[in-house]
Structure formats: structure tokens, C-alpha cells
């Protein structure tokens, strides 16, 4: 807890058995709630998460990274979280920055905080593939130009949100796939939430999850598409559901089917 605010960490997981424990062991003591949503993994992620004492929810099929986040945020709000940090359980982002990121929201400085791999200038030395670094810089520059922002990185998977942001953003209108992240930041900009950044060291290693080149291209085209949609919406030439006004209404109908956390999975039978 920080400044009387309940802090939750959500872990969108898919085959994270090899890196989950290292990630969880570095979570700071300020974290009150730990939630893992498993997107129908084929390994022992669920069994390990429950052994580590994490509140665990299991998708009945593989819905995708974006849909996983929707369930994560739904469960965090239902658990009463005031600040929610989304951390990948592949140990690519250091959990040690959670205190700094949560503080910036708990004390009312920002509504959204991003862990940027670019600010520190060590992305390449940390193992980020050169083509991904170049694509990251190009897409971020493109988004900054047309969204009117000055962020160092739009494509980090390390993000913290206030309860107000998650309760109001229409993120259930977003993609089930990786472009969800760009849609969500476009929403944050469109609805004028305050966005801050902290420098986050980069760690690429064999066990860390990473999308392949083909999916990276698909993601890049999706990012460009989201940016164009934002431009059309703000210019009054079109309207898109993910950028519509109105508070988010989150209930069980928005979440994909999940196995109750008390139920055994096949891995535990």
C-alpha cells in the first residue's frame, strides 16, 4: 500500500513457467494484490502460480494478449485495486521499478506511467534486436507526431494505471491481439490522462517471450492503423468505438470464460 492506495500487480501469462518465479520473487512489499491470468498455457504456469500464492485465473482457450489484459484489469478492479501495474511474467522488465511507478500514481502526479526501455539508452546493449529497435523508434516518432505527444516509447509492456483510468477507458472495444497496447495508449491520450515515464533497463534472453518477425510486421501495421484512426476521429471525419466517450462498464460479460481459481487444472490432477 502507498499513500492509502491499494497496489495490484497483474501478470498476463502464456507459457511463463520458466520465468514466473524469478519475476514474482522481486515484487516489492508494497504490492497488496497479485493476479495472474493464464491464456490457456500448455506448460505448468498455472500450477506454479498457485504454488506461489498468486490469485490465478485461467482462460478456457487462447484468446490473445489483448484479451488477457482485459481480464487482468477486470479482476484487479473487482479486487479493489487503486493502482494497477501490468508486468509481463517473462522477467524482461524488472519488478524493482514497481514502487517508483506506483508512487507516481498513488501520490497523484500521473494517471498512467510507462516503463520506457528507450530513456536509459541501453536497449541495444540489453539485447533488443536491431530491427525491433529501429521499428520501435520509427513507430514511436510516427505516433508522437500525429497524437501530439512526446513519449520516448509507445511499445513497452510495463504499464501502471490509476483505478479511474481503468474504470473509464473503453478498453473492452480494443483488439484481442498485441495492438491492444497501442489502442490503450491512444485512448489515454484522447481522453487526456496524464502520462509519465520512468527509465527501465532492457533484458532480452532466450526464456523471455518475444513476437517473431511476421507478427512484428502485423503489429507495426496495426499501430499505423490505430494512429490513422485517431487522426480521423480527432478531425471529425470518422468515429471509432474504442475512442467513444462514456465510462467503461465492466462486468463478467466482458471477460472471456475463465476457470475458477479454486478449481484444479489438468496440470494439478
Q: pLDDT per residue over 147-158, tens digit each?
A: 999 999 999 999
- pLDDT above 80: residue 239: yes
DSSP, res 40: S
Domain positions in the chain: 7-245
- Looking at 3.40.50.9100, 2.60.120.580, 3.90.550.10, 3.40.50.410, the CATH number of the domain 7-245 comes to 3.90.550.10
What predicted TM-score, i.e. pTM, was given to this entire model?
A: 0.89
Dump pLDDT digits (tens) for 52-111: 999 999 999 999 999 999 999 999 999 999 999 999 999 999 999 999 999 999 999 999
Label residue 187 left, alpha or beta by phi (over 0 means left) and psi (-120 to 50 means alpha). alpha
pLDDT at 211 over 80: no
Query: 158: Cβ–Cβ under 8 A, 6 or more apart, which residues?
Result: 85, 86, 87, 88, 93, 97, 101, 114, 115, 200
Find the mean pLDDT for residues 181-190: 97
pLDDT tens-place string over residues 26-39: 999 999 999 999 99
Given this model, what pLDDT does residue 262 score? 41
Residue 159, pLDDT score: 98
Amino acid at each position: 500500500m502507498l499513500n492509502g492506495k491499494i497496489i495490484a500487480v497483474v501478470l498476463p501469462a502464456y507459457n511463463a513457467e520458466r520465468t514466473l518465479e524469478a519475476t514474482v520473487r522481486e515484487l516489492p512489499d508494497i504490492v497488496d494484490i497479485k493476479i495472474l491470468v493464464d491464456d490457456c498455457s500448455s506448460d505448468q504456469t498455472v500450477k506454479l502460480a498457485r504454488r506461489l500464492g498468486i490469485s490465478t485465473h485461467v482462460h478456457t482457450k487462447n484468446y490473445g494478449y489483448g484479451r488477457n489484459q482485459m481480464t487482468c484489469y477486470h479482476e484487479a478492479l473487482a479486487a479493489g485495486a487503486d493502482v494497477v501495474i501490468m508486468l509481463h511474467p517473462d522477467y524482461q522488465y524488472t519488478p524493482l521499478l514497481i514502487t517508483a511507478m506506483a508512487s507516481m500514481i498513488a501520490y497523484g502526479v500521473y494517471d498512467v506511467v510507462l516503463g520506457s526501455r528507450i530513456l536509459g539508452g541501453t536497449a541495444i546493449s540489453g539485447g533488443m534486436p536491431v530491427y525491433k529497435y529501429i521499428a520501435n523508434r520509427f513507430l514511436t516518432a510516427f505516433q508522437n507526431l500525429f497524437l501530439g505527444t512526446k513519449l520516448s516509447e509507445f511499445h513497452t509492456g510495463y504499464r501502471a494505471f490509476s483505478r479511474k483510468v481503468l474504470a473509464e477507458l473503453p478498453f473492452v472495444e480494443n483488439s484481442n491481439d498485441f495492438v491492444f497496447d497501442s489502442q490503450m495508449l491512444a485512448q489515454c491520450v484522447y481522453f487526456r490522462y496524464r502520462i509519465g515515464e520512468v527509465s527501465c533497463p532492457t533484458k532480452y534472453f532466450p526464456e523471455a517471450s518475444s513476437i517473431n518477425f511476421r507478427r512484428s510486421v502485423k503489429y507495426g501495421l496495426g499501430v499505423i492503423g490505430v494512429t490513422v484512426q485517431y487522426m480521423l476521429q480527432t478531425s471529425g471525419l470518422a468515429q471509432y468505438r474504442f475512442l467513444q466517450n462514456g465510462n467503461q462498464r465492466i462486468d463478467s460479460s466482458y471477460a472471456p470464460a475463465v476457470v475458477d481459481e479454486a478449481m484444479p487444472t489438468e496440470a494439478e490432477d
